[in-house]
Structure 1
Amino acid sequence: MTYCLRIADLPTTERPRERLMANGSQVLATAELIAILLGTGQGPGKLSAVGLGQHILQELGKCDRDPLAVLREVSVQELMQIDGIGPAKATTILAAIELGKRAFQSRPLDRTPIESPAAAAAALSQHLMWKMQERFAVLLLDVKNRLIGTQVITIGTATETLAPPREIFREVLRQGATRVVVAHNHPSGSVEPSPQDIELTRQLLSGAQILGIPLLDHLILGDGNHQSLREVTTLWDEYPQGD
Structure 2
Amino acid sequence: MTNSYRLRICDLPATERPRERLLQQGVTALGTGELLAILLGTGSGKLSAVGLGQYLLQELGRHQQDALAVLREIKPAELMTLPGIGPAKATTILAAIELGKRVFLSRPLERTPIDSPELAVMALAPDLMWAETERFALLLLDVKHRLLGSRVLTIGTVTETLAHPREIFREAIRLGATRLIVGHNHPSGNVTPSTADLELTGQLLQCSKILDIPVLDHLILGQGNHCSLRSSTRLWEGYESLC
Normalising TM by the smaller chain, what interval? 0.5 to 0.7
Quick one: which of 170, 173, 177 aligns to 1:206?
170
The C-alpha deviation readout for 1:142-162, integer Å capped at 9, x for no partner, is: 33124578787887641346x
Paired amino acid for 1:231? G
SS of aligned partner of 1:17: helix
Instruction: Name the Cα RMSD after superposition.
Output: 4.3
Q: Which residue of 2 aligns with 1:30?
A: 32
Question: When the two structures are aligned, how many residues end up with a matched partner?
Answer: 198
Distance 1:208 1:66 in 2: 39
Offset of residue 38 of structure 1: 1.5
Distance 1:154 1:17 in 2: 45
Q: Which residue of 1 aligns with 2:192?
A: 224
Identity rate, percent: 54
Q: Which residue of 2 aligns with 1:145?
A: 145
TM-score (norm 2): 0.58
SS of aligned partner of 1:159: coil
Q: Which residue of 2 aligns with 1:83?
A: 83
Distance 1:4 1:153 in 2: 51
Aligned counterparts, 1:127-206, within 5 A: 127=125, 133-146=133-146, 157-160=157-160, 196-198=162-164, 201-206=165-170
C-alpha contact 1:138 1:152 (8 A) present in aligned 2? yes
Distance 2:22 2:168 in 1: 50
Quick one: which of 9, 12, 17 aligns to 2:11?
9
Offset of residue 218 of structure 1: 4.3
Distance 1:29 1:134 in 2: 32
C-alpha contact 2:113 2:147 (8 A) present in aligned 1? yes
Unaligned runs of 5+ in 1: 162-195
Unaligned runs of 5+ in 2: 215-243
SS of aligned partner of 2:42: coil
The C-alpha deviation readout for 1:81-112, integer Å capped at 9, x for no partner, is: 21222333223223323433454566686966
